[in-house]
Structure 1
Amino acid sequence: MSAEPATQRRRFTGPQGFLLAGSFLITLGSFAVLPYVSVLLHQRLGLGLGTVGFVLAVASLIQFAGGVVAGPVAARIGLRRSMLLALALRTAGFGAFVPGLTSPVLAIGALLLVSAGAALYLPANKAYLVAGSPDEDRPRLLSASSSAFNAGMALGPPAAAPLVLGSPGVLFTCVAGLFALVGVGHAFLPRDGARPVTVPDRPTSADGPRSGLSPFLVTVVSVYAFMFFQHYLALYAVPRTSAGFYGVVLMGYAALLVVAQPLLAEWIAALSYPAALRWGFGAMAAGMAAIAGGGHVGIA
């Protein structure tokens, strides 16, 4: 009986394992700060809610739409260099929040630096993570990456809660230090991941997209709709339940993503593109219908 190849026995390579751990730490640090930025800008620095909303909108635009620019930049300067530059921007941004505690200009500049760093990091991180991996391994890698990000999102806000109002300078200093340490680790990664692989051309069929335009447009519309609904869900849910109940639901939501995505990765990968859309958007439509009913069960 022939032994199973080492590449199949090994779940993740060393660089992949480091990136997954780094993704958790990066998101943990980010979400220890970012959910409370509106409190900092409004309550501590005295900016009006309209101004705060505009600043957060610009920061979100940079972070999510900036990938259009970040992708070509990463392709030009290399994946590892892009991640290092992104982490340097985010370290500087979180560090700038410390003097920004007394200066709206510095605080806003710090937020924009952090957002620019996030926009540059994510495309390079995803590309590096799957570089050299066969197609059948990529859903597992990407789902594990998503789980790491969601775990950090779930744990970041409660971890920072004791410090965010009483000692925000300590919080920002710790987060900047965390990003600096993660950045040092990235400097020891191989230059651009594993050896490149040649991806064969796939035939066009009725079961898949005919070009990259359709998935891109669907992603744009779905992320816009999801973020629009997510930002305002608390205003709907908390009065109908309670802040504590809503917090538990959000943590359960993040935990479900952490656990379920890796378990379902192979099943999802086997779906055709239209089937994946039907399952995904069908489930979200059913969930929105349940939320519309209000009450603890419907919102949960």
Structure 2
Amino acid sequence: MSMFSVRRSSLAFTIAATLGIQAVAAQDVNVTPAAGGGFAVNASGGSPLFTVDASGNLSIVHIGTATAWTSPMCFDGASGAVGPCSNGGLIGPTGPAGPTGATGATGPGGAVGPVGPTGATGSIGATGATGATGLAGATGATGATGPAGVAGATGATGSSGAAGATGPAGATGATGATGLAGPAGATGATGAPGSTGPAGATGPAGPAGAQGPAGPTGATGATGATGATGSIASISLTTYSNSGTTVAGGNTIVATCLTGVAISGGCKSDPANDLISSSFRSSATTWTCGIGSSGGTQMQAEVYCSN
């Protein structure tokens, strides 16, 4: 809200005093001036006290001489609503720093005092420790060889001395250079075959190969002769099953009759990844399935038992 230069109490008092209009309960009082005209409230002598011109400008005469109060009043720039100022309503921006004041005049100087006497000379300090020995200097250059002396006279030949004892044998001389290689010798006879070594351990089984394509359908065999009609008997069949998960390679799963005798059976597995290699009655009460698989699929054996 912007600061308004009047006090709310003064404004309210002036409006109430000058209008002299009592509001009708539950109704607003509306004043509509003619086009281009304004609104004014005059004193008894005819001088204006409160005016609103055609542009909406508000004037309150004698506001400058009204009683002063301590609470400021502000208005909203968008709606024109009047009310007390917010905490920051009266705080303006920080002004610029003022100019630096002039330097004051120097005060009167006092007389310079006399120079004091020279202090006594201090005693000589103790001798410092001897420093470390410096590095040895570089060796000087060798001097020039002096001239050769004059050859002396040849002395007389002395008598032959006795033969000396034989000296110790001298050290062995260095090995001579290697001679040229001789021609290759004849190939020797072939040796007898060595004995056969023990058989190595059996290596781990390799992964199962991919399922091969289905073979062609064999020719239909001739129809066998019709057997004699057997006697009709009442047979009750019960199915027992056994399920499991395949591993890579060959898998065997068996279904067993809990009661009765095995009459027939069957096998189930994943046709996209498995191959049923065998399905047979393995005993009087069991049915066995052989399944090749890449692993991780479900397999099941079933046996049909008569009671």
More relative contact order, 1 or 2 (CA 8 Å, 6+ apart): 1
- Give TM-score, length-normalised by structure 2: 0.14
Higher strand share: 2
Higher helix share: 1
Higher radius of gyration, 1 or 2: 2
